Chain A
Amino acid sequence: MDNFLTLFETYNVPAAFWVNIQLTFWAAVWSLVLGTLLALMRISPIPSLQWLGAAYVNIFRNTPLTIIIAFGVLGLFGQLQVSLTDDFNLNFFRLAILGLTIYHAAFVCEAIRSGVNTVPLGQAEAARAIGLSFLPAARLIILPQAFRGAIAPLGNVLIALIKNSTVAAAGSVAAEASSLMKTMIEFRGDLVIPIFFTFAIGFVILVIPVGLLTTWASRRLAVAR
């Protein structure tokens, strides 16, 4: 037991989790933005936009996240010299956020679309009937109700995102939790099982409140009909 506790003196586990929380936060914000735009494209009356939105979702939802993240480092940075900042480590961090965003935006889009399906067609018809065109109708009438109907599926995307933030390891973000776990196991093979449990429990502790919160919010904010 003492052996186990010394691990926390040698390795800064909370700091590693903090990196995952930051990855998650930024990827969540950006994928919400991108996912909303994609959902708008998919419900828009313009066929070419619908097609583009559908193509995006079908490509990135069906590509393994590891490949997207690795492409960020090896393809974008390594081959194409794309750099999001001059700071070497921050660049990997941002590329990882980019990869997480691109991947999860597809899921956010579909979650929002499921929310749109909870909004009766009559709402859109009434909006159009008073003279609102597509964008104002979407912004004022459809999306506000759709988001409230999409809280639970969006929560699921967030939960997946929290855990998927460990894939940033494939994008050379060495400070994040699963990378630290690998390092710890390398040096303290005698404690491999407690180390695994430490990180597993860490993620469970991060994720449980998200599930509780979204379940509560989806009931609290449900649109009464």
Chain B
Amino acid sequence: MTSEPQPSTSASSAHPLVSLKKVNKHYGPLHVLKDIDLEVARGEVVVVIGPSGSGKSTLCRAINRLETIDDGEIKVDGKVLPAEGKALARLRADVGMVFQSFNLFAHKSILENVTLGPVKVKGMKGGEAKELGMSLLKRVGVANQADKLPAQLSGGQQQRVAIARALAMKPKVMLFDEPTSALDPEMINEVLDAMVALAKEGMTMIVVTHEMGFARKAADRVVFMADGQIVEQATPEEFFTNPKSERAKDFLGKILAH
């Protein structure tokens, strides 16, 4: 990936790759996102942490419009998120997404899971897509499982395939929505390793996670959310050693106590 030129489509690379301005969302009476402002630069790795129900998953899913927002503005690579239809589909093709529950296509083989996007969305030729798919599967270490169905793989393997599937679209930014929360403990590291490798290669990443080790190792910035708001953001070093807000101190106290 490092050898590939950065996709520099519209305008300059001066504008942030992802930007959220005054984003609000309600679930009925519940105000889940409150005036969220966030900018993510090209190549930056942002880790979003916070207690359950703080809105961090909703924030992540809003960036490719799996969740709609009530007001505010979300831009990806300088373009405002389209409402629906073809334009939205095109934007989503540029935004990779990795889900908590993997969501591999259950009736397709591992390789087909990876090649489906390039072939059906980008019109890539079958042979070329297969080559790309195998190289990505090799990269995440599951090339030997290419012909199996998702249910035949372990959770860690499935999640690595899901990362390969997202990478196959050559996304500008990757979103990770609690990618290791559904995994058995012994499988968490294999997925985190793949993510750390990706971060080192310069991929722009927004990662919602509870893995503080990953945040320390790979993040450029930690964003701490609570009650639908961004409470503070800092470098991992700064945030973990010297959190400013009471809310963050309390949160870190609870999770780092053991």
A residues near B (Cβ < 8 Å) are 45, 120, 122-123, 125-133, 136, 140-141, 144-145, 148, 223-225
Residue of A nearest to B90 (CB): A131
B residues near A (Cβ < 8 Å) are 64, 66, 84-86, 88-90, 92-97, 99, 101-107, 116-117, 120-121, 149, 151-152, 162, 165-166, 169
Determine if B93 and A131 form an interchain contact, defined as CB atoms under 8 angstroms apart. yes
List 20 contacting pairs A-B, 8 Å CB cutoff, sorted by A. Answer: A120-B101, A125-B97, A126-B103, A126-B104, A126-B105, A126-B162, A128-B66, A129-B64, A129-B66, A129-B99, A129-B166, A130-B117, A130-B166, A130-B169, A131-B90, A133-B85, A133-B86, A140-B116, A141-B105, A224-B106
Distance in Å from the Cβ of A127 to the closest Cβ of chain B? 7
Determine if A129 and B107 form an interchain contact, defined as CB atoms under 8 angstroms apart. no
Determine if A129 and B116 form an interchain contact, defined as CB atoms under 8 angstroms apart. no
With A125-B99, A224-B149, A225-B151 as known contacts, state yes or no: A130 contacts B107, CB within 8 Å.
no
With A125-B99, A126-B99 as known contacts, state yes or no: A132 contacts B107, CB within 8 Å.
no
Interface of A, secondary structure class, is helix
Chain A residues with CB below 8 A from B103, complex form:
120, 122-123, 125-126
Residue of A nearest to B101 (CB): A122
- A224 CB contact (under 8 Å) in B64, B84, B151: B151
Residue of A nearest to B66 (CB): A125
Residue of B nearest to A125 (CB): B66
Distance in Å from the Cβ of B62 to the closest Cβ of chain A? 13
Chain B residues with CB below 8 A from A223, complex form:
106-107
A126 to B86, CA, bound (A): 16
With A132-B121, A140-B116 as known contacts, state yes or no: A123 contacts B105, CB within 8 Å.
yes
Residue from B90, B103, B107, B121 with most neighbouring chain A CB atoms (10 Å): B107
Determine if B106 and A131 form an interchain contact, defined as CB atoms under 8 angstroms apart. no
Determine if A130 and B86 form an interchain contact, defined as CB atoms under 8 angstroms apart. no
Distance in Å from the Cβ of B129 to the closest Cβ of chain A? 13
Determine if A130 and B165 form an interchain contact, defined as CB atoms under 8 angstroms apart. yes
Determine if A130 and B121 form an interchain contact, defined as CB atoms under 8 angstroms apart. yes
A223 to B116, CA, bound (A): 18
Chain B residues with CB below 8 A from A129, complex form:
64, 66, 92, 95-97, 99, 166
Chain B residues with CB below 8 A from A122, complex form:
99, 101-103
Residue from B90, B94, B116, B149 with most neighbouring chain A CB atoms (10 Å): B116
Distance in Å from the Cβ of A185 to the closest Cβ of chain B? 50
Residue of B nearest to A46 (CB): B84
Residue of B nearest to A127 (CB): B105
Distance in Å from the Cβ of A183 to the closest Cβ of chain B? 49
